[in-house]
Structure 1
Amino acid sequence: MTLGISAYGAYVPRYRIKVDEIAKVWGDDADDYKNGLMVTEKSVPDMDEDTATIAVEAARNAILRGADPKKIGAIYVGSESHPYAVKPTATIVAAAIGAGPNMTAADFEFACKAGTAAVQTCMGVVSAGIAETAMAIGADVSQGAPGDALEYTAAAGGAAFVIGKTDLIATINHTCSFTTDTPDFWRREGADYPRHGGRFTGDPGYFKHVLSASKMMLEKAGTKPSDYNYAVFHQPNGKFPTRAAQTLGFTKEQIKQGLTCPKMGNTYSGASMVGLSAVLDVAKPGDRVFVTSFGSGAGSDSFDITVTDRITKVQDLAQKTWDYIKDAKYIDYATYAKHKGKIKVDS
């Protein structure tokens, strides 16, 4: 059975804060972060933006690219920052795009790979015949405690993908996952900000899972890095995916288009999906795309994707990912703190 992506869309808030502005407030050396993390600025949600509104905008862009909301029988939204502890984001999206009510919906959570887990679930739902098409979304308004290293990268944005059997813009040839219980990053119920294991989040966390899942995928697909036109890896910063690509044998040119983090930060559940959206914006028929996500806790999902002839008919029907990224309005730290609710007032 042929399964794949029939429509896609992304959304990135317009507001930005530069790494220099954050470093100035905390007395840090901005170059340590710009060079060490390979990030120069990050996206910031507007006062009225959250995971739900970002997911809706991404979903609407997918509808503009040809998805019929009445044929969407499942919507799954992956995020670390759902606006409600008890009340699904997915139903908000369904109502906003005119889907349902004859459908199933749920919210997913697996740190930064909840979105790609939703893609795999959509593949299963469509394959089983439960839904004609299904929508997977990865979106976040990421959290970073004031003065923490995460504050330099935790950003806002997301992407939506409609999975189906017909009218495909890209086929998903293979998928696989690598998962372990590795507590490299976590946030307790009720906590405002996540905590992380510092350097522990690198090699035992990110690299072990991304490299293992990627090698599994190359073996399963019977391919090598040079067989792909593009590669996208989870991007908590610019350094990690660059190192992972180099270790596996992918070139800088292969990851360049999908490496959005240096100019917009880490959108957590949306990170690898926004990168894939950026690739699909420019991909040509026959191009092959390699994708590996990562979620702390910890696991990685890998995908082998081939772009179809239909891609050229939908690329210009909605705003492209890099156009969102380039449309930036810069703010100072005080405005950023207000937008992110970092100023707490006792009632």
Structure 2
Amino acid sequence: MMTQFGITAYGTYLPAHRISLAEIGSTLNINAGRGVRVAASFDEDSTTMGVAAAVAALGPGVAPNGLYFATTTPAYADKANATAVHAALGLRPDMLAVDLAGSARSGIAALLAAANAGGLAVLADMRVGRPGSSDERNGGDGAAAFVFGGDPIAEIIARSSLTAEFLDRWRDPRSATGEQWEERFGIEQYQPLVRKAAAKALASAELTEADHVVLVSPNVTLAKRVSKAVAGKLTTRNSPIGHAGTSDVGLALAAVLDEAEPDETILVISAADGCDALVLRATERISHARQPISVAAQLEHGSSVPYPTYLTWRGLLDREPPRRPEPDRVAGPPSARTTGWKFALTGSVCGSCEMVHLPPARVCKRCSAIDAMSEVSLARSEGVVTTFTVDRLAYSPAPPVVDAVVDFDAGGRYAFEVADGGSDRLAVGSRVRMTFRRLHSAAGVHNYFWKAQLL
């Protein structure tokens, strides 16, 4: 039976940092190829990137029927990561929010679950490879989110799945980096699965070929070998940033949705622990409901980061830590008491004089009204920098630490750390938006909050 709901909106997020493959090659004395690798910052993880993609996908007031978060690099084990995404988005409490983790195939699982429920699928991953490895050179960090519901921009008209057990890629749960068998073995296993799944899905959709084909796999060489056999009439795409784990299929699909025209068909093939094939057809709405910033545009923009800095961020280069006290672990009870403020940046607005308070307060600072407040979230709001400071003494994996006082367009003022550097571009009057990040981690606990990001 076909899924009930189609894609009504989507959003993607690519981190701002880029690692030069040429620098990797010169540092390690290897041929690392050309181009750049998309890399998450030291204060980003799969949860924060998932929030960024979901914010881009969800319109104001949209209430999906469930949140399905897929990643192979969860920030927590034995604790749901989807709940932090749910809290940061300010979604209603009577909603299912669950993780689908463990393999790249979890991305397809999240899409199908959200399609069946009319929910939100969030696919996010950080690919960590040992220095000089294929995962390091051919991988990338990123996230994609898809909202499913009625009146879609693209509807699923057919699908097929095949499952097979063979050892192609794996990772010890205690290790940050993965392993892969010799690529030719994986290609031999995947090729017949890809052809069979694609043929079955196309036949079910009563098509001989699709206008666009998306082909992704943890086996990055596979796409080059079989692309001719399943090529689209107009385009054939792989993941735009290399292997991106669960977000692989989401980023590649989003790149096609950025350009697809009404009534064009898209064959999505994901070869991971078997093969899944989806056939989608774009509707008339797609021309007017694309994501604000395309995948291609996000890929073009980015700032260079030195390779040793990137290795330090990933814990692969053990450098001398600062001689300063370690940060304290975030405690559960106070965090629970301030969930709305900490995760959704929810302040309060006075019903008498309309002054916005950050953090929320019971007593108005302007008119002294008591308990006359209502909640207001500023997570999606933009603002203006009124003053800032550049601290070159405070420790940061990406010094200096920049703090800015932000006046929000919707009212309210608060001091935030500035994400992704920008000390050379920041000025009084600079426009910023909010981005969900990690302030620090201690004893295995992550302290999530919002930072300001230059527009």
Question: Could you state the TM-score of these two structures normalised by the residue count of structure 2?
Answer: 0.66
Shift in Å, 1:144: 0.8
- Cα deviation for residue 209 of structure 1 reads 3.4
Comparing both structures, which one devotes a greater share of its residues to strand? 2
8 Å contact kept, 2:186–2:219:
no
| CA deviation after TM superposition for structure 1 residue 121, in Å | 1.6
CA distance in 1, matches of 2:70, 2:193: 19
Q: Which stretches in structure 2 are left out of the alignment for 5+ residues? A: 322-455
Cα deviations by residue, 1:51-90 (Å, 9 ceiling, x for unpaired)? 00110011011114x7x44x21211111110111122221
1:240-295: CA deviations, max 9, x gaps?
Answer: 323322023446x511xx4443xx33211111210111111122111111101122
3-state SS, counterpart of residue 119 of structure 2 = strand
Q: Distance in 1 between matches of 2:124 and 2:226?
A: 23
Secondary structure of the 1:9 match is: strand
Higher radius of gyration, 1 or 2: 2
Amino acid at match of 1:75: L
Indicate which of 217, 234, 240 corresponds to 2:201: 217
User: Residue deviations 1:215-261, cap 9 Å, x none?
Assistant: 22123223122xx221111155775323322023446x511xx4443
Cα 1:109–1:5 change in 2 (3 A) is same
Q: How big is each residue's C-alpha offset from its partner over 1:5-35, in whole Å with a ceiling of 9 and x where there is no partner? A: 111111011111122222222221234xx5x
State the partner residue of 2:312. Answer: 338
Matches for 1:42-81 after TM superposition, within 5 Å: 42-64=37-59, 68-69=61-62, 71-81=63-73
Structure 1 vs Structure 2: percent identity of aligned residues?
A: 28
Matches within 5 A, 1:148-187: 148-164=133-149, 166-187=150-171
Preserved CA contact (<8 Å) 1:11 1:58: yes
Residues 1:254 and 2:235 are matched in the alignment: yes
Contact 1:73 1:100 in 2 (8 A): no
| Cα 1:259–1:185 shift into 2, 3 Å | closer
Following the alignment from structure 2 to structure 1, what is the Cα–Cα distance between the partners of residues 158 and 57?
22
More helix by share: 1
Instruction: Select which of 179, 182, 187 maps to 1:203.
Output: 187
The structural deviation recorded for 1:158 is 1.2
Q: Would the alpha carbon gap of residues 76 and 199 (structure 1) be closer, same or farther in structure 2, given more than 3 Å must change?
A: same
Change (3 A) 1:90 1:148: same
Question: Aligned partner of 1:120: which letter?
Answer: L
| Number of residues of Structure 1 aligned to a counterpart in Structure 2 | 319
For 1:231, the aligned partner's letter is: V
| Aligned residue type for 1:161 | F
Residues 111 and 268, structure 1, Cα contact 8 Å, conserved in 2: yes
TM-aligned CA distance change 1:206 to 1:13, over 3 Å: farther
TM-score normalised according to structure 1 size: 0.85
Q: Which residues in structure 2 correspond to 1:189-200 (within 5 Å)? A: 189-200=173-184
Q: Distance in 2 between matches of 1:235 and 1:115?
A: 11
How many angstroms apart in 2 are the aligned matches of 1:25 and 1:216? 47
Q: Which moved more, 1:43-52 or 1:113-122?
A: 113-122
TM alignment of 1:9-48, pairs within 5 A: 9-31=11-33, 40-48=35-43
Report the Cα distance in structure 2 between the residues aligned to 1:109 and 1:209, rounded to whole angstroms.
23
Tell me which residue corresponds to 1:130: none
Assess if the C-alpha contact under 8 Å between 2:312 and 2:319 holds in 1. no
Distance 1:201 1:56 in 2: 37
* Alpha-carbon separation, structure 1, partners of 2:185 and 2:51: 31
Q: Distance in 2 between matches of 1:206 and 1:232?
A: 15
Greater RCO between the two (CA within 8 Å, min separation 6)? 1
Q: How does 1:256-275 map to 2 (within 5 A)?
A: 258-261=237-240, 264-275=241-252
Other-structure match for 1:37: none
Instruction: After TM superposition, give the deviation of residue 50 of structure 1 in Å.
Output: 0.6
Task: Give, in whole Å, the separation in 2 of the partners of 1:155 and 1:170.
Answer: 26
Task: Give the AA of the match of 2:75.
Answer: P
CA contact (8 A) 1:45 1:340 kept: no
SS of the aligned residue for 2:235 comes to helix
Contact kept in structure 1, 2:183 and 2:219, CA below 8 Å: no
SS for the counterpart of 2:175 is: coil
Partner of 2:282: 307
Letter aligned with residue 219 of structure 1: A
**Distance in structure 2 (CA, Å) of the matches to 1:250 and 1:309:** 21
Q: 2:121 and 2:250 mapped to 1: Cα distance?
A: 10
Contact conserved, 1:41 with 1:265, CA < 8 A, in 2? Answer: no
1:76-105 deviation line (CA, Å, top 9, x unaligned): 111110111122221111111121211111
Instruction: Give the root-mean-square deviation of aligned CA atoms.
Output: 2.2
Structure 2 match to 1:94: 86
Answer whether contact 2:4 2:115 (CA < 8 A) is retained.
no
> Matched residue of 1:107: which SS?
strand
In structure 2, C-alpha distance between the alignment counterparts of 1:248 and 1:273, rounded to whole Å: 19
What is the DSSP-based 3-state SS (H/G/I as helix, E as strand, rest coil) of the residue aligned with 1:146? Answer: coil
